[in-house]
Structure 1
Amino acid sequence: MAHAAAGHPHASRSFDDLVAEAAEVSVDGWDFSWLDGRATEERPAWGYRGLLAERLARARASLDLETGGGEVLGSADDFPPVAVATESWPPNAAVATALLHPRGVAVVATQERAPLPFADGAFDLVTSRHPVDPPWSEIARVLAPGGTYLAQHVGPASGFELIEWFLGPQPEARRGRHHDDEEAAARAAGLEVVDVRTQRLRIEIFDVGAVVYLLRKLVWWVPGFTVEAYGDRLRDLDALIRRDGVFVAHSSRTLFELRKPTPTA
């Protein structure tokens, strides 16, 4: 891939121009289309959107946790008679409301780490794509006996080549979100494991503006990130991308299918 940047549509633009543009563009919602042509990420083999749509079509009552702007949930064709989504970040909740309410999905604004405002056993399907900190005991509580939790989680050390470019080595943080730990926590909350799959995926970033956009949107990657605070590292990264044509990182994803047991007589 050496020197691939020469043919990239943004290769002739200056560092200052790329960074200024990326610092101003909106990062509301969970739509990454601004990165089209600027960065790519390999997708997991299992196809979460298709699995989600299939389960929603069969459910009686569904709950989508941390729905973001509702983009993934809204890609489904059919929803159950009762369909609810939660979101705690007000700008995303507003985007999700505009997208999902016309489809018959109620969007509930929640507080991070607060109990879910739903009755015990209210849903036979709970879903989530990339939850930050799954509330296992609450998920188990609101699931009906025999109900399913279907979710795609971010796995360990996701994007860490980029994170460590700015923060330096993070050996302890690399263990965070490990599927073994999450599986143990789910079991401790009383859920049964039906299926767990993991995959590590290639990310390619083609200009420094894409980096600025990502770090503004994924605020937990480099906490407190600003262009001013990390200007030197951004310039070094810009030079690397112009030399090599690409900055390569890797994400990891885990697919969970869990079940709430049905009480025995």
Structure 2
Amino acid sequence: MTDDRADDLVTRLADLYRRTTMVGWDFTVLNGATTSDELPWDFEADCLAAMRRALHGTVVDLGTGGGERLSTLLDQLPARSGATVVATEGWAPNEPVARERLAPYGVPVLAYDAEAGPRMPFADGSVDVLMARHEAYDAVEVARVLAPGGVFLTQQVDGRDAFELRDGFGAESLYPHVRLDRARPDLERAGLTVDVADEWRGRLRFADVEAVVTYLALTPWTVPGFDVATHAERLVALHRSGPVDVTQARFRCTARKP
């Protein structure tokens, strides 16, 4: 690649990065540009089963994003469900998106971010099902708000996820502590019984460097400090090498309050 062509590539990537923003929790812009291994479990099915068992209880979805997954779950509940469903969201731009999507279901969206302030806006022992998919939580708070017999379900992105991107761009993980070997004992110390604890590694393939840049624009926490101009040389090298493979890392826990 000549210097002129490399400069053109970097200019295009910079424009792509600038124009790409997350709305809700929507990765459809990457459809066809990425392929990934399948998780060996179905977290959504686990959540739906728990919601069905709490037809007259209180269900909370922490970090609902734009309400996409919660609305899909609610569509699968029986019409006779008498559950009280509440969502929280900690990123201000997502709040109006979630409220608009969840309004037809009568689901309020409360502002809450566990990383900004750990106390949840729920009374002690008031929640029957608490869900946190790729959302931070405080184990002590989880135990406080769960009712006796209540269940907490979480799927998390391990802090080592996509470490190849951080290594290549010279960055450090913002969440090295997010790991199953820390999450499980934290929940147990909070007084919960952990019934399920699994972790998984798989491959995520980006078709080209444009897909990588799009992904980093959607998830800026993946490579803190990423900048197209600063990392131009590395981006040109990735363009020349073809598809980019990274390691996906996930874990899940299901815990209940005795």
| TM-score bracket for the superposition, by shorter chain length | 0.7 to 0.9
CA contact (8 A) 2:153 2:253 kept: yes
Find the aligned partners of 1:127 and 1:178 in 2 and give their Cα distance.
18
Identity %: 35
CA contact (8 A) 2:193 2:257 kept: yes
Q: How does 1:1-265 map onto structure 2 within 5 Å?
A: 16-59=11-54, 60-76=57-73, 77-78=76-77, 81-111=83-113, 112-114=115-117, 115-131=119-135, 133-167=136-170, 176-241=177-242, 246-261=243-258
1:174 deviation in Å? 8.6
C-alpha distance after superposition, 1:78-126 (max 9, x if no partner): 2652101111101112211111121222111124432111101111100
Query: For the structure 1 residues 50 and 239, does the alpha-carbon distance in structure 2 shift closer, same or farther, using more than 3 Å as the test?
Result: same
* TM-score, structure 2 as length reference: 0.86
CA contact (8 A) 1:121 1:145 kept: yes
* TM-score, structure 1 as length reference: 0.84
C-alpha distance after superposition, 1:174-209 (max 9, x if no partner): 953220111111111111111111111110001212
RMSD: 2.1
The one-letter code of the counterpart of 1:144 is A
C-alpha distance after superposition, 1:205-235 (max 9, x if no partner): 0121211121122122212222223222222
Find the aligned partners of 1:237 and 1:113 in 2 and give their Cα distance.
36
The one-letter code of the counterpart of 1:121 is G
The one-letter code of the counterpart of 1:259 is R
Q: Any unmatched runs of 5+ in structure 2?
A: 1-7
Q: Any unmatched runs of 5+ in structure 1?
A: 1-12
